[in-house]
Structure 1
Amino acid sequence: MASSNDSIQKTIIVALSLCLVCSVFVAAAAVGLKPIQNANKDLDRKRNILSAANMLDPSKSVDEIFSSVEARIVNLQTGAFATQAELQAAGIDPVAYDQKAAAKNPQLSVALSGENDPAGIKRRANFSSVYLVKANNALDKIIVPVHGYGLWSTMYGFIALQNDFNTVIGFGFYDQGETPGLGGEVDNPNWKALWQGKLVYDEQGDAVIRLAKGGVDSSDPQAAHKIDGLSGATLTSRGVTHLVQYWLGEEGFGPFLAKLRSEGVQ
């Protein structure tokens, strides 16, 4: 009987020791790989930003191209670049700012509902990153993040505008879970190419860019503001329209872009 008990105790001790050793190795691996994971995450972010602006060049590294991009933080409540005092008061590190996390923090975001939330995001962060591309010491293009709900998922992407802050250079999602072959066609390069040259705002300054069900009629006076809708994906198409109009409208980057248009980059 004692021998049997000893055997059980030894088995338990061996199992616990093995678990302890494995947990130490897993923890060490996680800590050791963290810098690599963060570097890969940052590289992917840069690649997505450059892709939206059609700036990727296979002959150059992502970091080399991104050296011409300046990241800034915008206060969406004031429509201006955030001041150092505002960032300090909010406890925001501009380099490490995580807009997704900020949107979940009631201290750093505002709640949205009903007509105030056409993009279905529920909360909007008070501050947002934007990316400025300069050429010959002058602003050449600007890239802003956008997100909103489609049919099955929240779609995250970037839209790039020329320095008239109205003409689209490029647009694309880097994270979406829409139906492959239908709403998932938001990743189709041919569809994304249709955005280039489209206009966001009408003569009154309203964000009217939208997806057109059944395709764009070239004779339509509003054709410059329309992109072909996604065939068989009405709800995803509607979601794309809502999120782009929201983020480039009065509750998103609209006031900020209007300020840049009239005052330039400060």
Structure 2
Amino acid sequence: MNTNSNGYTFFFAVAMVLVVAATLAFTATSLQERQYENVRLEKMQNILMTVGVETDREGAEALFNQYITQQVSLNPDGSIDEEVNAFELDLAKELKKPIEEQHFPLYVADIEGKNYYIIPLRGAGLWNAIWGYISLKDDINTIKGATFDHLGETAGLGAEITQMWFRKRFEDERIFDESGALAGVSVIKGYKGGNAKDDNAVDAISGATITGDGVTDMITERLEHYLPYFKKQPTFKVASAY
């Protein structure tokens, strides 16, 4: 074949495209199981982080099995659906369903004899999805800890929701107001409350107002769906306004 001809150039280009495509497809397939495992272990790490248990991926599953005593999938009325695996629930897919068809995963941790309720979160930031986990102490009002992550927030601005200094602002905040109504925790620009933990608010990240609003909204929106379950718990001590 004439290597200087247009036909040869076209044949060579097509061959290279096929070789590269086949290589990429093989690589993606061969790494799929490992990627799934990494996502699974990272999820365990994030859940544990909200209750103060730090671990690397290698130790995540052992500690998860040690400290997480319950994994339940809740129906909208607060009842437990025994047929649904809470850990396998994809919150992004659940949010696309009507509320009455959604399931709400909940994890219960036992740390030194104290129970903590861990709730997955998901919402919208400035550019794309944001998500995380928030844990409540056994009074089902006081936050033990929180983790946040994002798909495409701006580096140095909205992406700072992943940082420890921002997450620590939520520790010991209350999710109910003085009347017993669910207030969540608002991320407020220009917050002047200092270290107050009873005003349902924390200071925002400078220059990341929309991402902060997304954090505010997803906390309240997600927690609201757990109220029917929480009201049935004997440790629920809030004088509810509902």
Please state which band the TM-score falls in when normalised by the shorter chain. Answer: 0.7 to 0.9
Residue 240 (structure 2) aligns with: none
CA distance in 1, matches of 2:98, 2:30: 37
1:111-142: per-residue Cα shift (whole Å, max 9, x none)?
7xxxxxxxxxxxx9611222111257x66111
Q: Write the deviation string for residues 10-61 of structure 1: whole angstroms up to 9, x where unpaired.
A: 7766665555555444333322211111111111111122222221146x81
Normalised by the length of structure 1, the TM-score is: 0.72
- Matched pairs, number: 231
Structure 2 gaps of 5+ residues are: 237-242
Q: Which one-letter code corresponds to 2:80 in the other structure? A: F
Identity %: 25
Residue 34 (1) aligns with residue 35 (2): no
Question: 1:192 aligned to 2:167?
Answer: yes
Alignment of 1:81-100 (within 5 A): 81-84=80-83, 87=84, 94=86, 96-100=88-92
In 2, Cα distance between the equivalents of 1:228 and 1:18? 54
Secondary structure class of the residue paired with 1:73: strand
CA contact (8 A) 1:133 1:142 kept: yes
Partner of 1:146: 121
Q: Write the mapping of 1:47-196 to structure 2, written as runs, cut at 5 A.
A: 47-57=45-55, 61-67=59-65, 68-69=67-68, 70-75=70-75, 77-84=76-83, 87=84, 94=86, 96-104=88-96, 109-110=97-98, 126-135=102-111, 140-196=115-171
> CA shift at 1:194, angstroms?
1.6
Q: Secondary structure at the match of 1:147?
A: strand
Closer/same/farther in 2, CA of residues 51 and 125 from structure 1, 3 Å limit: farther
Match of 1:217 in 2: 193
Specify whether residues 31 and 255 from structure 1 end up closer, same or farther in structure 2 by C-alpha distance, changes over 3 A only.
same
Q: CA-to-partner distance for each residue in 1:151-208, whole Å, 9 max, x for gaps?
A: 3332111111111111101112122433333333322312211211111112443222
Is residue 132–residue 139 contact of structure 1 (8 Å, CA) maintained in 2?
no
> CA–CA distance in 2 between the matches of 1:234 and 1:21?
47
Q: SS at 2:233's partner residue?
A: helix
8 Å contact kept, 2:138–2:235? no
Change (3 A) 1:15 1:144: same
| Structure 1 portions without partners, runs of 5+ | 88-92, 112-123
Please report how far the alpha carbon of residue 144 of structure 1 lies from its aligned counterpart in structure 2 after TM superposition.
0.6
Distance 1:80 1:149, change over 3 A: same
> What TM-score results when the alignment is normalised by the length of structure 2?
0.78
CA contact (8 A) 2:189 2:204 kept: yes
Q: Sort the Cα spacing of 1:194 and 1:219 in 2 relative to 1 into closer, same or farther, 3 A.
A: closer
The 3 A distance-change label for structure 1 pair 64 and 24 is: same
Do 2:91 and 2:122's aligned partners in 1 also have CA atoms closer than 8 Å? no
Asked whether the equivalents of residues 48 and 174 of structure 1 are also in contact (C-alpha less than 8 Å), the reply is no
